[in-house]
Structures are given as C-alpha cells and as structure tokens.
A and B are shown apart, each in its own frame.
Chain A
Amino acid sequence: MTDTFVAGPVQAERGPFLELSLEAWQRMLEDVRAACLGGRDYARVREGPGRIVFVSAAAAVRPIAGATLEGVAGAFLTTIAQVAAVELADRGITANVIVPALEPDESAVSAVTEFLLSEAAQGVSGAVIAADGGFSITKEGTASPLLDAES
C-alpha cells in the first residue's frame, strides 16, 4: 500500500445562512486549514509516489439550503486537491476528491478511498468522484437513491 494522506469528510455546523455565527465559520476554516496544510506537509516529506484524498461534502457540488459551511469547505478542498494534482504529478503523487452523500455513507466512501489508494488508481488525479448513492444527481430532497435502494 502506498503511503497516503486522507482528510475528511468535511463536517460543519448546519443552519440558515443569515444565522450562521462567525465562530461556526471560523471552526469550519480551522478544519479546512488542517486538511490543506496537512496535505502540504505530506507533499513536503513524501519522496516517492503517493496519494492525497480529500473527502469533501455533498453541498460542495449541489448547493443545499442550511449546509453553507460544509459546501464552502468542500469546494475549497476540491481546488486544493486539483492544484496539488497538477503540481505533484511529476513525483507520482495523485490528489483526488470524494464527494459523499449529504449524510455520508461510510462504506460507499471507504470503497472509493480504497480504490484511489490502490495501484490501479495511479493514473487518476484531480478527479472529483461522487460516492453518494446518486445524491448529487437527484433533485429529491435529501435522497440518495442507490444508498436507499433495497440491496
């Protein structure tokens, strides 16, 4: 297994935009900062091929009322991953983003994480992969049709 850096899923306080406190905003930024600078530190010391994975947030891809903070955080980390992907490609380090459901499903996320950390994903970088049971493609409230389906 390649040595890796994995951060997320992004979590933040939910609530109406107009009522969000500056403290909640700052707490969200502290988590984003830790993830971003953690990835930076990994890029500083990692010599050979490597893997960076950020688990973002559903609201970063599909805006959701009341989920402003996690949307901002996930969006932020998406660009961090994509710029890192461009810059670190020549060292064989990939950087990718997993988008979970609004209520993240651990097994769906870990299955995609496992793929991104594997040798098979050496050519996958800068990608944004939804592991959300279809949440980002539905317009039906908070449903994730595949996660909700009878298995």
Chain B
Amino acid sequence: MRLEGKVALVTGAAHERGIGRGIALELAQEGCHVAVNDVAYDDMGKELAGQIRSLGRRAGFFPADVSDRDEVDALVEQVETELGPLDVVASNAGVADWQPFAAITDESFDRIVGVNLTGAFNVGQAAARRMVARGGGGRIVFTTSVHVQMPFPTMAVYGATKQGLRALCEAMAIELAPHGITVNHVGPGWVLSALNDPSPAVQNEQELRTSLGQIPVEGRPADPREIGRGVVYFASSDGDYVTGTYLRIDGGFVVGKFA
C-alpha cells in the first residue's frame, strides 16, 4: 500500500457512476482513510463510506455544496475533526450542460462556474490554508478534462471552467511548493458517468458507438478507477517531484482525434 494511514477528502464522490467514487476507492485501496463528499446522493455516499470501512479504513459521508464557501470551511473542519489532518484532497466535483454557444443561459453559466471553478477554488484554498498552518505538506489533485486541450462544441462553459482550473492548478503549484504541497490535475476523456447522461452522444446509441469507437485503446470509455489510479500516483511518494502538471487518462482520445 502506497498511502497507508493518510487522510483524504474526495469531493463529488458519492454517485455510483462517477469519477469521484473511482478516486475514493483507489485511495482507500492504497490505505487512505476517506471522506466522501457530495451535495446529493446521500444514500450512495453512505454506501460508499461503508464499502471503504469494510476495507479496514476510517470513512464517512460528508454532505456539502462546494460552491458555498461557508459549507466548504465547515466541511474541511469536520473532516479533520473526525478523520484527522488532511493529507490528500481530490477536488473532483463537477457539472455540465450541453448548449450551443449562442444559447448558453445565464443560469447554466452560473451553475457550472459555481461548482466546477469556484468550488475548486473554495476547496483548494481552504485545504491549502490548513496544510500550511500546520507546517506544510500535502497533495491537491483537481479533476479537469481533455477539454483543457481540445475545444468541444456545445460545451464552451464546461470546457472553460476546466481551462481555468488548469491555470489555477499551475499558479497554486508555484506558490505552494515552498510549503511542501504539490498541486496537479487528472484529465479524463470518455467516462460513462452520470454527468454525461444528458449528453447528445449518450442519448444517441449510434453516436455513442461512433464516439467510443474513435478511442485508440480498446474503443472503450475509462473505468472511473483508472482515473483514481492517476490520483494515487500524484498522492503517493512516486509523485514527490511532480507538481503543476497534468495526467491525461483518456485511452489516447486526444491523440486519436488529432491523428
């Protein structure tokens, strides 16, 4: 086990078909005690925490809305009280909408930016402040996307939040390195997560088959746990010298598209 006894928080982790769950399970597999956060899906969150406890770790479900700073501050405090000082923070919570550029609604803009970008700022800054206050050391990993390298039609705001997150991660990496904190991001390609359920591709079987067929590795989507193993890499001692960078876990989707 590469992370024995470490304490981790994973945001947006409850849903049974989400990347966050894959991250939480991989961290637990490697020895982490895990705080499972989400804004909804309480039953799934509690079930996941139970699954992690059955591996012999401490775990709990901690509901909070990451877009609300007060809730995030309370979340981090509660997790540290119940599980111990945070070593690893996987800021993963995200939402998406599919709209042509000219049809973006104000409400959709605010919702996506609030969760994906302000949520990550809230979680990243709240966690970093506590890590620094107790003398430094820690790992922060954001979930971004292949969108940081490729523009996807009908997903301008979602993609922009991920690009903003890339810049946030890089700036944090520079400023937090003197405190022994690394900051990185993982970039999933296709995952058949609940987030993608409303996407036009998932709604149309033929389109989905075509899209998945373009993925060089086995023409398949990622298992969320494959994304989780990227987070484990950044969180473990293997990642001691790695900060401000991006690990794309997409089965070659980006290179396949551009080839």
Contacts and interface: CB of A to CB of B under 8 A. Distances in A.
Interface of A: 16-18, 20, 22, 25-26, 29, 32-33, 36-37, 39-40, 43-44, 59-60, 63-68, 71-80, 82-88, 126
Given A36-B157, A83-B155, A18 B129 contact: yes
B102 A75 contact: no
Contact of A44 (B102, B162, B168, B170): B102
Given A29-B113, A63-B244, A80 B156 contact: yes
Contacts of A18: 125, 128-129, 132, 175
B55 interface: no
A29, A43, A60: most-surrounded residue (chain B CB, <10 A): A29
Contact of A65 (B148, B153, B175): B175
Contact of B164 (A66, A76, A85): A76
A72 to B, nearest CB: 4
Contact of B153 (A29, A74, A83): A83
Contacts of B122: 22
Given A74-B167, A80-B160, 18 more contacts: A18-B129, A33-B109, A36-B157, A37-B104, A43-B101, A43-B102, A59-B171, A63-B174, A68-B168, A72-B164, A72-B165, A72-B168, A75-B167, A76-B160, A76-B161, A76-B163, A79-B164, A83-B155
Nearest to A75: B167
A96 B6 CA distance: 45
Closest 8 CB pairs of A and B: A75-B167, A83-B156, A63-B170, A82-B151, A68-B171, A79-B163, A76-B164, A71-B167
Contacts of A20: 125
Given A40-B101, A87-B101, A72 B129 contact: no
Contacts of B104: 36-37, 40
B33 interface: no
A67 to B, nearest CB: 7
Contact of B162 (A22, A32, A63, A79): A79
B154 A25 contact: no
A17 B171 contact: yes
Contact of B151 (A22, A29, A75, A83): A83
Nearest to B177: A65
17 contacts: A17-B171, A22-B69, A25-B121, A29-B118, A36-B156, A37-B106, A43-B101, A66-B175, A68-B171, A71-B171, A72-B164, A75-B167, A76-B163, A79-B159, A82-B151, A83-B153, A84-B101
A71 B102 contact: no
A59 B160 contact: no
Contact of B125 (A17, A63, A78): A17
